[in-house]
Structure 1
Amino acid sequence: MNLFKKLSGKSKEIEREKPTIQSPKDEEQVDNQKQVSKSKSVRILPRIKVNYLHEIYIDDQSKSFTGNPMPNGMEIPEDQKPIVKPLYEDLNLCFAVDEGNSYKILQNEIFEKNPNLNEDILHQISVNTLIEEIGEQIKMNGDPAHIIIVTAGGNFEAAIILLDNFWEQIHQIIKGNAIISIPARDLLFICKEGNQEATQKLREITKGYFDNPETQGLLSKALYLKELGNRELKIIEKTF
């Protein structure tokens, strides 16, 4: 069921956020954005990752979703490590280059080749590309009085948390702060803060995906608070 149809009696498309670079520091940054995102037709998209060294995963280090440690003595050169930008709490942001049939995670070596580039510019470029990629596919289903399920094609649902315009609409729809769950990269669930029944259901949903060995692209076992007017996400609890 279309969420907007339930609210207004007719279908309504989610508004697209303008794919523009916000507040560049200088012309050099703008030139560098163009160099990365346009001159070679490079499409850079955001990938939400989880820092499984965060304290909420202390009891989970032996579990498969936390990843396998590297053999003793094995090191990866700094320029070959993925670019990782801390986001909120246990969440990090990486950057994926669209190679047609797959995505390649950008490594630190890109900064050596593009000295005027930085994580903030990559962040904005990737968000702009995300809007172009899935902006018209974002659909919100469910009951705004209970749980909203967000879909957008099955690859970047978790990355929707980066879109300011999306949250403006969500806060208007639920008329309050939001509790969210992103158990995997293609999953985004939302309910209103204070709805205890819906929050309990989000706990069960989140744990269920982690308990299922067939779940692909696992992310966070946390529930987060998204406050009106605040870009940050805050962990309110771990679900197991």
Structure 2
Amino acid sequence: MIEGTVCNKAIAYLKPIIHDNDQSLLNDEVLELSHEESIAELPFNDDLIINFVYEVEDFEYFLYVNNGNLEEENMTIPEQRHYGIDNLIERANEYNLQIQEYETGCYGLILDGNFEASLILIDNLWEDSLKHYITNNFIVAIPSRDVLVFCDSQSEQAIEELKRTIQSVWEDGDHLLTNKLLIRSGGKWEYR
């Protein structure tokens, strides 16, 4: 982890967007935050956002970077994204990112139980490091923060396994993200 301020230690972290029609996901009380207290975020797609978290108290829990942190440290959101991705890469190296191969032609990324899904944000991972696992485009399932499974876009058997993985996690999982498959095309992720 980079030593220094809150912002330059923060790790990029995917979270679901709570849409107006998803108010049942919120507690009865809605907390109003000032701009400074609001969590710093970047859009990823229509359902997911990128937040930034940092570890405190000897790695026992995470706190979110808020807009006040960015202002105090004179950092922009694009700069925070850069630090967040670099710190995610560092975490993947530190925790020895592993690839699990399944019989169905799927592969899972195993990290630390917190940032597996966020690995989708590391372009070099998909453009270079993992490219030899597929021959076409990547299809990815990230049903929760701790699950990232991928396959080749032309493998129907593997895609069906990704759908079963989503269904299994979605039934009783926590820290849910999306029940949709994503495809990587032209260096971007979009829903399949």
> What corresponds to 1:129 in structure 2?
87
After superposition, the CA RMSD in angstroms is 2.4
Instruction: Kindly tell me the number of residue pairs found equivalent between the two proteins.
Output: 187
2:163 is matched with which residue? 203
TM-score by length of 1: 0.70
Task: Look up the equivalent residue of 1:191 and give its one-letter code.
Answer: C
Matches of residues 59-138 of structure 1 in structure 2 within 5 Å?
61=22, 67-68=25-26, 71=29, 75-99=32-56, 100-115=59-74, 117-135=75-93, 137-138=96-97
TM-score normalised per structure 2: 0.86
2:85 maps to amino acid: V
C-alpha separation between the residues in 2 aligned to 1:235 and 1:178? 12
Assess if the C-alpha contact under 8 Å between 1:144 and 1:191 holds in 2: no
* 1:83 alignment partner, SS class: coil
1:89 and 1:235 in contact (8 A); partners too: no
C-alpha offsets along residues 80-129 of structure 1, whole Å, 9 cap, x if unaligned? 111111123422100001112110001111233133x1111111111111
Tell me how far 1:170 sits from its aligned partner: 2.3
* CA positional deviation for 1:231: 2.9
Give the corresponding residue for 2:18. Answer: 52
Alpha-carbon distance in 1 for matches of 2:46, 2:138? 16
Q: Which runs of 5+ in 2 are unaligned?
A: none
In structure 2, the residue matched to 1:16 is none
SS at match of 1:49: strand
Aligned residue number for residue 99 of structure 2: 140
Deviations 1:156-190 (A, max 9, x none): 11111111221023232211101100011111000
Q: 1:69 to 1:235 in 2, by over 3 A?
A: farther
- Percent of aligned pairs with the same residue? 19
Distance 1:91 1:221 in 2: 11
Cα distance between partner residues in 2 of 1:194 and 1:38:
43
Q: Which has the higher strand share?
A: 2
The structure whose Rg is larger is 1
CA distance in 1, matches of 2:47, 2:139: 16
Does the CA-based 8 Å contact 2:118-2:145 persist in structure 1?
yes
Matched, 1:163 2:119: no
Amino acid in the other structure paired with 2:26: N
What does the per-residue CA deviation read over 1:115-144, in whole Å, with 9 as the maximum and x for residues that have no partner?
3x1111111111111222222511111148
- 2:79 partner letter: I
